[in-house]
Amino acid sequence: MATTKKTLQKPYDDILVATEKINLALLDSHLHYLSGDIDEYNVNETIKWIIYENLIPEDGKILTILINSYGGELSQAFALIDMMKNSKYPIRTIGIGAVMSAAFLIFASGKKGERFISRNASIMCHQYSTNAEGKHHDMKAYEKEMKLTDERMLAVLKQSTNLSLKTIRAKLLPESDVWMDAQELIDLGIADSFLHFK
């Protein structure tokens, strides 16, 4: 039995070692992979990485966030965007797989000229939505936060593009979800180039 347990343990240990090596290689390359939901856990991990990178001086350093996400919580997205904008090192964004909703805003917030999109990415932007519920007066009070959130989205998209607020509302935030391909994202000035790994 002891031999069997040891045999089973070794592949598991090898997996852990491989995972650690991958994570260290990404860290050494100043690259963070943001995948899954845009939620408190994933955003906290990304923010901690940005803080860590900012504590280590290195001339000419560019940080890279590789994004593959269907979206999630806008409040968490705004927290990450604020940290990205306050980083003393520029942050490149790379979109692959899914770049949708809150993840769309994060991608757009990368440094202009350093936002790369893969040709086969699924890309979607839409208006703010909420599942809030409660008493009538609380819902009326919450309308202020909904309005502020809409204004934050507009501000992020305006800062990230050369589009007017009118164009942003028409092309990116109409009543229905907006789906686009990578070329359209580049044409709108939200991505700068196609992704080409060297």
Q: What is the pLDDT of residue 1?
A: 46
Phi then psi dihedrals of residue 53, to 5 deg: -65, -35
**Top-tier CATH class for 42-194:** alpha beta
Listed by start position, the domains of the chain span 42-194
- DSSP letter assigned to residue 175: S
pTM, 2 dp: 0.87
pLDDT in tens, the chain (198 residues): 454 555 555 666 676 688 888 988 999 999 999 999 999 999 999 999 999 999 999 999 999 999 999 999 999 999 999 999 999 999 999 999 999 999 999 999 999 999 999 999 999 999 876 665 666 666 677 688 888 989 999 999 999 998 999 999 999 999 999 999 999 999 999 999 999 876
Contact by Cβ (8 Å): 35, 69: yes
Q: What is the pLDDT of residue 74?
A: 95
Residue 104, exposed/middle/buried by CB under 10 A (0-12, 13-18, 19+)?
buried
Q: What is the pLDDT of residue 80?
A: 98
Taking alpha carbons only, the member of 84, 97, 85, 77 closest to residue 35 is 97
Contact by Cβ (8 Å): 116, 195: yes
Q: How far apart are CA 165 and CA 172, in angstroms?
A: 10
Q: How far apart are CA 5 and CA 12, in angstroms?
A: 11
Single-letter code of the amino acid located at 1: M
Taking alpha carbons only, the member of 127, 82, 141 closest to residue 106 is 82
Q: What is the pLDDT of residue 128?
A: 74
Maximum C-alpha span of the chain:
71
